[in-house]
Amino acid sequence: MTLEQSKIGDKLSIIKLNGDDSFRQRVYSFGLIESTKLEIINISLAKQTIQIQNEDGTLIALRFSEAKNIEVTK
């Protein structure tokens, strides 16, 4: 399953980051790597952005187009 398929309140773990090198470097800079645990905090009404919180408490907002490149598991 990918990140954009999740619901508010889901607790997930990243299993794979897809996409080009610039995308992967961008999410790495946020501290999102394989095996990172995160929680879905909010999803915009128009499903344009998704807000997540990683295990150290950092809030991160991603575009849905970016969330499609992040494979997760519950």
Fold designation for 3-73: SH3 type barrels. (2.30.30)
pTM score, whole prediction: 0.86
Q: Are 15 and 72 in contact (CB under 8 A)?
A: yes
Distances (CA, A) of 27 to 8, 45, 63: 20, 23, 12
Burial class (CB in 10 A: 0-12, 13-18, 19+), 17: middle
pLDDT mean values, one per 10 residues, the chain (74 residues): 93 94 91 93 92 92 92 94
> How high is the pLDDT of residue 13?
96
**Single-letter amino acid, residue 57:** G
For the chain, which residues make up each domain, given as ranges? 3-73
Q: Are 52 and 62 in contact (CB under 8 A)?
A: yes
> How high is the pLDDT of residue 46?
87
Determine the Cα–Cα distance for residues 36 and 40; give it in Å rounded to an integer: 13
